[in-house]
């Protein structure tokens, strides 16, 4: 069993427990459930294109940064000019929580993506009730039918959908999904090896109706300039900012440099 299989097995247990603790009507009665979402896809088209991530740790890198306040990080990212913020909510493997999402939402006015291993309708409702504007669906862990079902629920709630793929096979089963963005993850979820060439190879196969997002392993403005020439509008960056003492300042410096070359 690889790390992805372990994460998903644990996620099924976690979701069943959560359902028994906080029933769906309670989620739907949340003040934030009625909030109108801000489109991440539209923000990527007109802004810096950077989706800056709040991530404490990961299975591949262990601890990245455990000491920072999520509210300060989110505010710093917004002030830096990012187009959106990605908040990891998985606890066991990434050190995140739904409270991180809530605190980030209370701190900024820009779109927030709930970064999670989504396997159940309950998690989509949860995302909405805790203030997310967009959800992530990972083609590697869901069937075409599941992708379509979960995406439709998110869209009906007014949220954007970022559909993550790793290869052409996953892209093919994603084309009928009502997603706003297709994200190419440059990191293999099975080996954790990273190659930006993955984005370049798949770029020409992604229909223009989707906003193209490149994820993982992006650490330089020159890489973004290169990816823009392949039609990418969004760039998800996590460790590059989070490994510093001040992610907001790191993001600001990065975006300032990016503006000077593109």
Cα gap 200→186, rounded to integer Å:
10
CB within 8 A of 22, min separation 6: which ones? none
- Taking only Cα atoms into account, the Rg of the chain, rounded to an integer number of angstroms, comes to 17
Q: Is the pLDDT of residue 67 over 70?
A: no
68, pLDDT greater than 90:
no
> Cα 167 vs. chain centroid, distance in angstroms?
18
pLDDT at 228: 97
**Where along the chain do its domains lie?**
3-21+38-261
> What pLDDT shows up at residue 62?
64
Give the pLDDT of residue 60: 65
CB of 185 closer than 8 Å to CB of 216 = yes
pLDDT confidence tier of residue 203, bands split at 50, 70 and 90? very high
In this structure, are strands 62-63 and 160-165 parallel, antiparallel, or unpaired? unpaired
* Angle, alpha carbons 16-69-154 (nearest 5°): 40
Q: What is the pLDDT of residue 120?
A: 98
Helix (H, G, I), strand (E, B) or coil at 214: strand
Residue 63: other Cβ atoms inside 10 A: 11
pLDDT of residue 61: 64
Predicted TM-score of the model (pTM): 0.95
Q: Which fold has domain 3-21+38-261?
A: TIM Barrel (3.20.20)
- Average pLDDT rounded to a whole number, residues 257-262: 89
* Tens digits of residue pLDDT in 137-163: 999 999 999 999 999 999 999 999 999
pLDDT at 230 over 70: yes
Query: What average pLDDT score do residues 88-112 get?
Result: 96
The pLDDT, as a whole number, for residue 130 is 98
Enzyme catalytic residues: 53, 55, 115, 164, 185, 215-216
- What digits encode the pLDDT tens for the residues 26-63? 999 999 999 999 999 999 999 999 999 998 777 666 65
- Quick one: pLDDT at residue 200? 97
pLDDT digits (tens, 9 = 90+) for 164-188: 999 999 999 999 999 999 999 998 7
């Amino acid at each position: 069993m690889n790390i992805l299989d372990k994460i998903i097995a644990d996620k099924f247990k976690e979701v069943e427990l959560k359902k028994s603790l906080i029933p769906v009507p309670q989620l739907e009665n949340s003040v934030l459930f009625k909030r109108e979402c801000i489109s991440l896809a539209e923000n990527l088209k007109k802004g810096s294109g950077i989706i800056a991530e709040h991530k404490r740790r990961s299975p591949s890198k262990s601890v990245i940064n455990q000491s920072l306040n999520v509210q300060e990080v989110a505010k710093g990212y917004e002030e830096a000019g990012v187009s959106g913020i990605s908040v990891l909510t998985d606890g066991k493997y990434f050190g995140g929580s739904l409270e991180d999402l809530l605190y980030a939402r209370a701190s900024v006015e820009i779109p927030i993506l709930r970064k999670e291993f989504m396997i159940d309708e309950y998690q989509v409702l949860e995302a909405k009730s805790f203030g997310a504007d967009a959800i992530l669906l990972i083609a590697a862990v869901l069937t075409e039918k599941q992708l379509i079902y979960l995406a439709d629920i998110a869209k009906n709630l007014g949220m954007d959908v970022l559909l993550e793929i790793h290869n052409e096979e996953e892209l093919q089963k994603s084309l009928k999904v009502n997603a706003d963005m297709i994200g190419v993850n440059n990191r293999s979820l099975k080996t954790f090896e990273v190659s930006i060439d993955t984005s370049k190879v798949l770029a020409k196969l992604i229909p223009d109706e989707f906003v193209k997002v490149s994820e993982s392993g992006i650490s330089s403005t020159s890489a973004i300039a290169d990816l823009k020439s392949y039609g990418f509008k969004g760039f998800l960056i996590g460790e590059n900012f989070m490994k510093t003492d001040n992610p907001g300042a790191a993001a600001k410096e990065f975006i300032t440099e990016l503006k000077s070359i593109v």
